[in-house]
Structure 1
Amino acid sequence: MESQPSRHAAFTAADILMQLDTYASQFEYPVLDNGNVYHIDCRLSVYGDKERWVLLFDIIGYNYRFGGHNGLYNCLYFYGNCLPFTPGTHNFNFMTMTDDCEGMPAFGPDFRETLHPEATAILLNGEETPVLHDPAYYAARGVTLAKAPAISVWEFARAFVPEHRAGFLALEEEIRDRIPKDLPLLLRLDEWYHNDLSGEELPSAVETFRQIANVLETGDVSFYQPTKTPNTHWKNWPMGGTL
């Protein structure tokens, strides 16, 4: 779809795509089949006005190199022309939300890589939340336990996160601590067609980001009319976490 601006923006769709491609080329960009990270869930938020634009990716995953609660995080990737830091991600944009309940370790005892067999709850943003061990619970959510009855942290998270998704995504006030508070939210996507950066596919090569760039340039959300089937579900990225 060609851009047909309905307003005179201080930037163009080409400017947006150039920034995304530049940081993607440097791997400062969400790679959903990152070999160190089991992909869990994600969200894409688009903010903009005539002068400013921001794209934010919430990428929830489990990094087995960190393990336990430290490995289960939401990594925020920001792009735009009004950020108080360089685009991409930074240590202060890694958000952890879970912890042990008092006297009840959620993970372990084997290097905290599995759900503790005696755990009945986990703290999610400070609130005690039940956890389940029944293989049927996981199977009903499309998660096959590779070493049942053991439940790996990523298997647990893939079943647990969708039902508690709001607790893992960045809150609006947390986002506004990082971007202008008055910048309008134009579009928010829970699924989309994401480029395969491991396969050397840049953002500008896919319609998702070409259309979103037109939305930002014009301020017209109707420019987002995807024809590609969303691929952001973790089942579409089987190589994630397999290094």
Structure 2
Amino acid sequence: MTTSSILGQFDLCADRAEFPDQDNGYYYPVDARIHLFGDDTRWAVVAELLGYTPRGGNLIDVVHCFGNCLTRGEPGFGDFLDRVDNMAEIDPHGEEVYAGGVPVVVRGTALAVDAPAGTPLQDVFRLLAPANRDLLMADGTELRARIPADLPELLRLDEWHQPEDLGAVMPSGHETFRMIAEVLDSGDPARYRPTLPANTHWSHWPDAGTL
């Protein structure tokens, strides 16, 4: 386990288009998180991109998993977790807009919506995200679905600076992911000392989801 080997895995996944990309054309970004896990010999990263995908017909938590100790599958895309239980009620005609007057039910919890009928669904979900992050993002079981149950969590990032173009800037050449690799290699969360401003809020990615 070295910084260079960790970055090498990140770059390989980015080259296969299986690295977290806020500018993905298939879903409108809503929220994001990265979790770092590790000990003396093992490391893992679980990255979540929460977004509304019209093609998938739901608000989906796209989970990416990396590491040298994955319990199943290869590094890259992990699970695609549907979050809304009642899409047929909030968008009965498949028009990608809010029907109005009904809550959004997430994992059995009804969330009141302060938006009029006709509001684009991505805007509805973005309104709900700040107060309901833990409900919308992965829970403990989902986070550890592909990593060892005893692997300690070192650091959680609720925001970070993401490369604007992963085709032009690989993870190994970007400050955020170099520091993430250093944290994993050393086991020291203090190695994460960003100088670039966070840009993972959905407002920084106006073209995402518009494929």
Shorter-chain-normalised TM-score: which range? over 0.9
Q: Which residue does 1:241 correspond to in 2?
A: 209
Q: Which residue does 2:69 correspond to in 1?
A: 82
- Separation of aligned partners in 2, 1:29 and 1:177: 18
Q: Which residue does 2:131 correspond to in 1?
A: 163
Q: Which has the larger radius of gyration?
A: 1
1:49 corresponds to 2:39? yes
Normalised by the length of structure 1, the TM-score is 0.82
Give the stretch that moved more between structures: 229-238 or 174-183.
174-183
SS in 2 for 1:46: strand
Matched ranges for 1:62-211 at <5 A: 62-67=52-57, 71-83=58-70, 84-90=72-78, 93-100=79-86, 105-109=89-93, 111-117=94-100, 119-134=101-116, 150-211=118-179
Contact 1:105–1:116 (CA<8 Å) still a contact in 2?
yes
Report deviation, 1:199: 4.8
Q: Which runs of 5+ in 2 are unaligned?
A: none
- Separation of aligned partners in 2, 1:206 and 1:78: 19
Contact 1:108–1:114 (CA<8 Å) still a contact in 2?
no
Determine which of 168, 173, 195 is the counterpart of 1:227: 195
Q: Which runs of 5+ in 1 are unaligned?
A: 1-10, 135-148
Give the stretch that moved more between structures: 225-234 or 189-198.
189-198
Determine which of 21, 24, 27 is the counterpart of 2:14: 24
Contact 2:14–2:166 (CA<8 Å) still a contact in 1?
no
1:38 corresponds to 2:28? yes
SS in 1 for 2:137: coil
- Separation of aligned partners in 2, 1:58 and 1:188: 11
Contact 2:89–2:102 (CA<8 Å) still a contact in 1?
no
Report deviation, 1:198: 4.6
Residue type of the alignment partner of 1:74: D
Q: CA RMSD in A?
A: 1.6
Residue type of the alignment partner of 1:127: T
Give the stretch that moved more between structures: 204-213 or 38-47.
204-213
Report deviation, 1:173: 2.1
> Measured at CA, do residues 207 and 155 of structure 1 come closer, stay the same or move farther in structure 2, by a change above 3 Å?
same
- Separation of aligned partners in 2, 1:180 and 1:128: 32
SS in 2 for 1:188: strand
Q: Aligned pairs, how many?
A: 210
Query: Over residues 138-189 of structure 1, what are the superposed CA-to-partner deviations in whole Å (9 max), with x where a residue is unaligned?
Result: xxxxxxxxxxx62111111111122111111111122223210111100001
